[in-house]
Amino acid sequence: MHLLNPLNPALFTAQPQLAAALAPFAHQQDDLLVGGKTPAQIAALLDAEVFYAYDRAAITARVQALRAALPARVKLHYAVKANPYFPVVHWLASQVDGMDVASRRELVLALQSGVDPTQISFAGPGKTDAELKAAIAAGCVVHLESAGEMRRLQALCLQADASARVALRINPEFELRASGMKMAGGAKAFGIDQAQIWDLLPELQTGPLQLVGFHLYCGSQNLQADAILQSQRQSLQLLAQLRPHCPQLQFFNLGGGFGVPYFPADKVLDLAAVGAGMQQLFAEFADAVAGLEIILELGRYLVAHAGVYFSRVIDVKTSHEQQFVVTNGGLHHHLANSGNFGQVVRRNYPVVLANKLTLAPVAPVQVVGPLCTPLDILADKVALPAAVPGDWFAVLQSGAYGASASPQGFLSHGVVSEILL
């Protein structure tokens, strides 16, 4: 049975984003199921009591929803940074059209996942010579982030008697409105300023590098279709200016930035509106995009909803009338949930007691982890059913920027287990 129909209206009223977060999952009586398994079954599979579980069907459904909503010509790339757990990367290789990597190890993961190497793009400022050599060896596209990087890659290609397909990552004059993390516009470490692009074009169209694409990445975690479309419009205007000067162009990477609803006030991104808007933009900029692959690179939007971070309740206690639920999971595994991964104000992720889904919430509790720091908060004054030691506490929307984005060595509690089901 599916959780789309709220099991527990009181709980859903207290946390409106919870309904969206639970929608991908089924349940069996009071147990939340990930890939058809209860928390206890997953714990038995992993021999662990703290773990991330990812739901394969939820990832697949998300890719299908994107394909249904977006114009057919749009190619989907997965940004490995969001979740580099190899079974997830490997599964996505069969679902998407390419991958974006930002380190040599991510490149090797993508290659091993079976994705076509020519559909891997390697971005990121500060690529070392070793990383550029790896990119040449892989035969992937290098997204150049500076003139200096371009010259180093040229020299390495000449040394190796090789050539490389490259794209220029442009730092445009505009910014992405309403974005959780802005990565373009103004002085930025990413990409090459729009004004500097023209000088590089002649140098790029001779020698061992082949300019096959442009890349604009304006920002992450955007929940507003109109803001995303506005930055795409500005990106396409720029493409229209550049296109006549770049005869070998094969693709235009429009970035992504599609956000997911983590917090109570967050709205779900209107994917249908994004799709319809993109269709219109492609008609309007028909000459600029003619014959080009149009790529969207998405990280969290493909995986965040599919992941749940489970931990076990170790203790329940009261301090000055506030009830504390202490679990064996914390910010060392899930930094973003603690509010310390780029957020300005800490807000609660959607959370449940994964073995008490249908029980009514009692007075708000403070859920904390085992670390000796007041930062180790899993949920701040959240309505949960009465908790006892042994219960399973679950943080939803946890499939991106979880294990790999957390300080797992901090306080030496050990690393977290992961599983794709």
- Which residues would be at the binding site for ligand PLP (CB under 6 A)? 79, 81-82, 100, 123, 217, 220-221, 256, 297-301, 400
Q: List the one residue out of 267, 251, 394 whose CA is nearest residue 334.
A: 394
The least distance separating ligand PLP from the CB of residue 179, rounded to whole angstroms, comes to 9
The least distance separating ligand PLP from the CB of residue 83, rounded to whole angstroms, comes to 9
What is the rounded CA–CA span in Å between residue 271 and residue 286?
A: 22
Q: Which residue is nearest to ligand PLP (CB)?
A: 299
Angle, to 10 degrees, between the axis of helix 104-112 and the axis of helix 86-93? 50
Cβ proximity to ligand PLP, 153 vs 303, nearer residue: 303
Torsion of CA 276, 278, 279, 283, to 10 degrees: 140
What is the rounded CA–CA span in Å between residue 67 and residue 245?
A: 31
Token pair 């919870």: residue: 18
The least distance separating ligand PLP from the CB of residue 77, rounded to whole angstroms, comes to 8
Cβ proximity to ligand PLP, 27 vs 127, nearer residue: 127
Burial of 347 (0-12, 13-18, 19+ CB in 10 A): middle
Q: List the one residue out of 239, 227, 223 whose CA is nearest residue 289.
A: 239
Amino acid at 65: A
Cβ proximity to ligand PLP, 100 vs 266, nearer residue: 100
Q: Which runs of E-coded beta strand occur in 242-356?
A: 251-256, 293-298, 307-319, 322-327, 351-353
What is the rounded CA–CA span in Å between residue 298 and residue 74?
A: 12
Cβ proximity to ligand PLP, 298 vs 313, nearer residue: 298
The least distance separating ligand PLP from the CB of residue 241, rounded to whole angstroms, comes to 22
The least distance separating ligand PLP from the CB of residue 82, rounded to whole angstroms, comes to 4
What is the rounded CA–CA span in Å between residue 367 and residue 364?
A: 10
Cβ proximity to ligand PLP, 39 vs 259, nearer residue: 259
The least distance separating ligand PLP from the CB of residue 253, rounded to whole angstroms, comes to 9
The least distance separating ligand PLP from the CB of residue 81, rounded to whole angstroms, comes to 5
Cβ proximity to ligand PLP, 17 vs 222, nearer residue: 222
The least distance separating ligand PLP from the CB of residue 405, rounded to whole angstroms, comes to 10
Cβ proximity to ligand PLP, 175 vs 297, nearer residue: 297
What is the rounded CA–CA span in Å between residue 27 and residue 36?
A: 8
What is the rounded CA–CA span in Å between residue 347 and residue 262?
A: 9
Cβ proximity to ligand PLP, 42 vs 400, nearer residue: 400
Q: Which helix or strand (DSSP H or E) is residue 277 part of?
A: helix 271-284
